[in-house]
Every structure is written in structure tokens, then in C-alpha cells.
């Protein structure tokens, strides 16, 4: 990853010059969500084009996770509209399944299936959701395990891998479903410092290939390297949204400034 040093000319970086098409793959219109009477998400509006990479940041409890989990209906919104890949999210279970097939997700705590070997973790969904024959699914799984650089772990169980390896397996598991969109919810925040890079490297590579991505993360280096847009959330609202250089160098809102000063102080 010699080209990923973040410099003045990072507009010439390959990931930044990746074409972003006009095709809108995620559209969120005035979306609200409540937990009981607690208003967690307030009037969220977002359009994501095919190939776009968006980083979401904000203080803990600001609703970042809830927001991206609404996109694949792990959480239900109560007002407004979410359209993913041309399908509107409603209570229709068929449509929810259809969307989930196209949207991969990686979690803070990996959520690998501990009773299945790594290979079985990877082939399960392709075989039983996409009805791909086993040998083909295994082939794809090995291809992605090689891409995340741990093909030798295929026969092991998740409990035998390090956190960084588990997160890479989780990414590979999502990719095996050949998703159009990838969601990441703080994929590196449960990892020991020396493992963060190996996961970010995989994510950067994915971005370079043109995957549409929404990442909740506080890895500002990553945001500068790959993001087209950075979104700042606080108390359930999108406070600020900008292109990364502008966002970091010239934050508009005082809450953004406060937040950035806090995380950059470290």
C-alpha cells in the first residue's frame, strides 16, 4: 500500500479518481426512528451513488450504528423512506431479504458463527441464500480468503483466530455474497492497535475496486484516504457533510470542531 500515504496530491490517489456513477444505490428521505419515546434518528437525508465511499463519524451514542443498521433493516425506521438498490424498505419480508442479499455488513464484534469453521462461515450464505453449488461456493470462499490473506486458516474455527483475522474473515464472508454495497460499523474499534492496519488495508483495497461503502469509523487516516464524503452525526442528526479535506481542515459547525479536536488530541 505504498500509494496510500495521505499527501497534498491525494486527489491523484487511485481511490479518489475511481469513477462514481450517477446511479443512486441508497436513498434516505426524511427518515426518523424512535426507541420507545426516545427520538434516536431525526430527519436523516442521504443519497449514495454507486461506487461512493462514505465515512460516518460522531460521538458515541449519536445514532451512527442505528442509522446504518436501518439500511439493511436490522433496525426498523418509523417515518420517512429508505430505498436501497431501487427497492423501498417496508415490512415486506421478501423485499427485506432481497435487500440483505445485496448489502453486506461487518460489525464491531465480527459476529462470526463460532460453531462453524472459517470455510463453512464463508460458504453458508452463498449456498443457502443464493443456491450456489458447494464446490463453486468453496472456490469463491478460498478466493476471498486469499484476498484477505488468510487462506491457511480455512479449516480453523473463529475462536482460534486473532481479532484482526476474525474481522478479515467477516469481510470475506460478506464479499462471498457478492454484495453491491458494504456497510461497516466500527470494524476496527474492538481490535488491538497492531491489528487495525491489517483490517484497514483490506478495506482500502476494497474501496480501490470501486465497492460502494458506508463506514462508521473513527480512523481519520482511513477517511482521508478513501472517503468521497465524511458525515458527522450528533444526537441523531446529520450535522455536517463534506468532502474529506474540507471536513478535516475546515469544519463548519462548532460541534464538528469540538469532536475533531477531541479525537485528534490523541
Partner 1 sequence: MAEQRQYEVGLHPDLPPPASTTGAIGWVRANLISSPVNTLFTVFAIYLVYTMIPPMLDWLIFDAAWVGDDNSVCKNETGGPIAAACWPFIKVWITPFMFGRYPESELWRIKITYGLFGIALLALLIPQIPFKKWFALFLLLPFPIICFYMYVGGSFGLMYVETNLWGGLFLTLVIAITGIVASLPIGIILALGRRSNMPVVKAICVAFIELWRGVPLISILFMSSVMFPLFMPEGVNFDKLLRALVGVTLFSSAYMAEVVRGGLQAIPKGQYEGAKALGLNFGKMMYFIVMPQALKLVIPGIVNTFIGLFKDTTLVGVIGLLDFLAMIQAGSSNPKWLGYLTTGFAFAALVYWCFCFGMSQYSQHLERKLHTGH
126 binds ligand ADP (CB under 6 A): no
**72 binds ligand ADP per the rule CB under 6 A:** no
Contact range with ligand ADP by CB under 6 A, out of 33-41, 117-125, 151-159, 240-248:
33-41
Please name the residue that has the C-alpha cell 440483505: 100
Q: State which of residues 11, 22, 37, 93 lies at the interface with partner 1 (CB under 8 A).
A: 93
Exactly one of 61, 86, 114, 133 binds ligand ADP (CB under 6 A); that residue is 61
Residues present in the chain in total: 266
Closest to 145 measured CA to CA, from 123, 127, 125: 123
Among 16, 50, 53, 64, binds ligand ADP (CB under 6 A): 64
Residue 164 engages partner 1 in binding (rule: CB under 8 A) = no
Least CB distance from residue 66 to ligand ADP, whole Å? 3
Instruction: Determine the Cα–Cα distance for residues 77 and 262; give it in Å rounded to an integer.
Output: 31
CB of 58 or CB of 251, closer to ligand ADP: 58
Measured over the CA atoms of residue 144, residue 150, residue 152 and residue 153, the dihedral's sign is: negative
Q: Grid coordinates representing 69? A: 443498521
78 near ligand ADP, judged by CB under 6 A: no
Interface with partner 1 includes 104 (CB under 8 A)? yes
| Residue 182, SS3 per DSSP | strand
- Quote the Cα angle for 83-88-90, to 5°: 130
Using CB under 8 A as the criterion, what x/- string covers residues 128-157 for binding partner 1?
xx---------------------------x
Interaction of residue 62 with ligand ADP, rule CB under 6 A: yes
The terminus-to-terminus CA distance of the chain in angstroms comes to 24
Which stretches within the chain are classed as H helix? 14-17, 64-71, 93-102, 118-128, 134-147, 163-175, 193-208, 220-226, 244-249, 254-264
CA dihedral 131, 135, 137, 139 (to 10 degrees): -160
Query: Cell for 36?
Result: 420507545
The yes or no reply on residue 228 touching ligand ADP (CB under 6 A) is: no
Which residues are registered as beta bridge partners of 98?
none
Interaction of residue 15 with partner 1, rule CB under 8 A = no
Query: Toward ligand ADP, which CB reaches closer, 50 or 64?
Result: 64
> Considering only 1-9, 17-25, 109-117, 228-236, which stretch makes contact with partner 1 by CB under 8 A?
109-117
* Neighbour tally for 178: CB within 10 Å: 14
- Is 66 a residue that touches ligand ADP (CB under 6 A)? yes
40 binds ligand ADP (CB under 6 A): yes
The residue ranges that bind partner 1 (CB under 8 A) are: 72, 74, 93, 97, 100-101, 103-105, 107, 109, 111-115, 124-125, 128-129, 157-160, 170, 173-174, 177
Amino acid at each position: 500500500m505504498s500509494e496510500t500515504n495521505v499527501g497534498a496530491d491525494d486527489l491523484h490517489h487511485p481511490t479518489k479518481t475511481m469513477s462514481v456513477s450517477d446511479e443512486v444505490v441508497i436513498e434516505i428521505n426524511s427518515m426518523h426512528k424512535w426507541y420507545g419515546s426516545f427520538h434516536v434518528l431525526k430527519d436523516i437525508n442521504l443519497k449514495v451513488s454507486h461506487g461512493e465511499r462514505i465515512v460516518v463519524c460522531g460521538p458515541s451514542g449519536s445514532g451512527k450504528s442505528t442509522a446504518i443498521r436501518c439500511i439493511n433493516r436490522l433496525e426498523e425506521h418509523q417515518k420517512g423512506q429508505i430505498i436501497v438498490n431501487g427497492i423501498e424498505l417496508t415490512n415486506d419480508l421478501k423485499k427485506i431479504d432481497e435487500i440483505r442479499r445485496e448489502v453486506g455488513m461487518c460489525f464491531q464484534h465480527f459476529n462470526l458463527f463460532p460453531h462453524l469453521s472459517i470455510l463453512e462461515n464463508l460458504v453458508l450464505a452463498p449456498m443457502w441464500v443464493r443456491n450456489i453449488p458447494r464446490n463453486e461456493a468453496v472456490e469463491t470462499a478460498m478466493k476471498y480468503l486469499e484476498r484477505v490473506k488468510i487462506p491457511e486458516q480455512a479449516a480453523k474455527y473463529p475462536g482460534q483466530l486473532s481479532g484482526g483475522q476474525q474481522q478479515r474473515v467477516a469481510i470475506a464472508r460478506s464479499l462471498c455474497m457478492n454484495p453491491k454495497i458494504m456497510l461497516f460499523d466500527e470494524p476496527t474499534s474492538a481490535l488491538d492497535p497492531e491489528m487495525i492496519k491489517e483490517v484497514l488495508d483490506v478495506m482500502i483495497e476494497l474501496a480501490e475496486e470501486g465497492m460502494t461503502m458506508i463506514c462508521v469509523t473513527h480512523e481519520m487516516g482511513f477517511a482521508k484516504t478513501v472517503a468521497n464524503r465524511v458525515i458527522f452525526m450528533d444526537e441523531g442528526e446529520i450535522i455536517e457533510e463534506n468532502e474529506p479535506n474540507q471536513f478535516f481542515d475546515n469544519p463548519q459547525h462548532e460541534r464538528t470542531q469540538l469532536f475533531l479536536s477531541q479525537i485528534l488530541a490523541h
